[in-house]
Homo-oligomer: A and B are copies of this chain.
Amino acid sequence: MNAWGMGIASTVNAPPALSGSGRGKKVAVLGAGLAGMTAAYELSKLGYQVEVLEARPFAGGRCQTARKGFALQELGGEAQTCRFDEGQYINHGPWRIPLDHQSTLYYTRQFDVPLEVMVNENDHAWVYMEDAGPFSKRRLRPEQVKADMRGHVAELLAKSVQDKLLDTRLNPDDQRLLLDYLAHEGALNAKDLAYKGRNGRGWAVNPGAGLRPGTASDPLAFRDLLSSKVGKVYSAVQEFPMHTTMFQPVGGMDRIAQGFASRLGGKIRYGQEVQRIRQTPDGVTVALKDVASGKLSSVSADYVLCAIPLSVLRTIDTDFSERFKGAMKAVSYAPVGKIGLQMKRRFWEEDDQIYGGHVLTDIKGINTISLPSSGWQSRKGVVLGYYHYALDAIEASALSPAERAEFAVSAGERIFPQYRDAYENAFSVAWHRVQYNLGGWAEWDEAGRKNAYPVLLEGEGRVLLAGEHLSYLTGWQAGAIESAWQQIEQLHKRASA
């Protein structure tokens, strides 16, 4: 089938089929994020006795959804409690499930988590650049830019072929075929190979009833497009794994976490902060502190599957070798910030006919404004007001929640004049300031991948690690899940030996 499909990838799409049994063996799983819960769920099915230790009062790790009442206090920050209306939410952690992530989709199917399309590419949304030459501070739609860039480029190449400038490069047959393609791709005029616009860029007046045949719109000038560089804001094809069809769970991403948590039930102990990890040739002991009471306790197990982010794990007292500890330090964690802004009116739909997708902008610290892919045509909606990384994220995270909201609103209103008036309240997160995460996701550099990554993949003795950080899908739920699949196979091999 793959050969027939001409080199299309297969992907890991189910847990490893493991033989034998884990009966009589205990595994302590540290962290009830998706990696930890995947490991716990699958190991349980194999017969292992599993205990999941989670510091937070809820499961999911970064797989969180903020809705009315959701509380967050960043390290050294003000307490925030989400004040969205009932039914409104923001996925402030992972928010997309790509079709390529069959591992994540394996569990949404197993757990009957209903999915809906997340509009991840919307050529009808705005592109708004403040530094784009002739188009600075103008609102464009990607469909205009794509149509016109491809039209003008096709015209340039077609006319060059016609004028025999490419005779040394292409034989007459290929020239004819290329012209045929370019005329199609660029919607060129058959007679003179000129690009004069196309309705895919939008009409000046839409066709309608009666005497309303529609009025064509004029293309943007080639030279203006080139000097604006807006042809670089989109991709010729969506890169992996961003392509259609993108999904989100109906009602919030944490439905996936709940799917695992409800099946693991009493196997998860909440509010248990890992203080120390010690191992002997026969087992591992994990010292815990009850977050609420401060009470200390410990758990012993034959194996530990540690799904704590390395950013946190490296702050915990362990007896890992120096080599292993060094490897744990070799990766940096991404500063990442998001803000959800509840709007009392879906002006992007009502006024601008934009239904989901991302508004791309060069406004500093914003990156994208993303519009909700649920609640179509309803009254209110929660907009993702920024999604930023690196220095932008660090700068914004120094602001108070109210200041972040003001930052987002004052940027957004440059694109949408309705923004400030519609704004009601906000919920923001700076993942690098969240206690049990200390970062959005692992960011490996080349040296780290080469030297530290393989060390961590091996685990140490009876402790194995799992998480998005031990995958090439860092920052994705699929990375966490597939890492768990990979590591439990190893654990089971070790335990069965």
Instruction: Name A's B-contacting residues (CB within 8 A).
Output: 1, 4-12, 99-100, 102, 105, 108-109, 114-117, 119, 121-124, 135, 138-141, 143-144, 146-147, 149-151, 153-154, 156-157, 159-160, 165-166, 169-170, 174, 177-178, 180-182, 184-187, 198-214, 217-218, 220, 223, 226-227, 229, 231-232, 235-240, 243-245, 247, 351-353, 355-357, 373, 376-377, 417, 449, 454, 457, 470-473, 478-479, 482-487
Contact = CB atoms under 8 A, between A and B. Distances in A.
Given A10-B206, A12-B206, A178-B226, 20 more contacts: A1-B351, A1-B417, A4-B138, A6-B139, A9-B202, A12-B208, A109-B377, A115-B376, A115-B377, A117-B356, A147-B236, A147-B237, A150-B237, A153-B182, A160-B166, A177-B227, A181-B226, A181-B231, A208-B478, A210-B486
Contact of A187 (B102, B184, B236, B484): B236
Given A6-B139, A207-B473, A122 B244 contact: yes
Contacts of A178: 153, 226
Nearest to A147: B237
Nearest to A225: B181
Contacts of A473: 207-209
Nearest to A105: B377
Contacts of A229: 177, 180-181
A183 to B, nearest CB: 9
A199 B239 contact: yes
A218 B7 contact: yes
A370 B227 CA distance: 41
Q: What copy number does this chain have within its complex?
A: 2
A213 to B, nearest CB: 5
Contact of A157 (B141, B157, B212): B157
A115 B376 CA distance: 6
A202 B12 contact: no
Contacts of A240: 199-200, 202-203, 206
In the A-B complex, the 8 residue pairs with the closest CB atoms: A207-B472, A200-B237, A245-B355, A117-B117, A209-B482, A209-B471, A209-B483, A177-B226
Contacts of A117: 116-117, 119, 356, 373
Contacts of A153: 157, 178, 181-182, 185
A5 B482 CA distance: 44
Contacts of A484: 209
B122 A208 contact: no
Given A143-B243, A243-B200, A209 B479 contact: yes
Tell me which of A109, A156, A351 has the highest count of chain B C-beta atoms within 10 A of its own C-beta.
A156
A169 to B, nearest CB: 7
A485 to B, nearest CB: 7
A11 B208 contact: yes
A485 B209 CA distance: 8
B151 A200 contact: no
Contact of A4 (B139, B470, B472): B139
A145 to B, nearest CB: 9
Contact of A356 (B208, B245, B485): B245
Nearest to A237: B200
B353 A198 contact: no
Given A351-B1, A473-B209, A376 B247 contact: yes
A217 B10 CA distance: 12
Nearest to A113: B377
A212 B198 CA distance: 44
Nearest to A100: B206
Given A99-B355, A245-B124, A181 B237 contact: no
Contacts of A245: 119, 122, 124, 355-357
Contacts of A146: 236-237
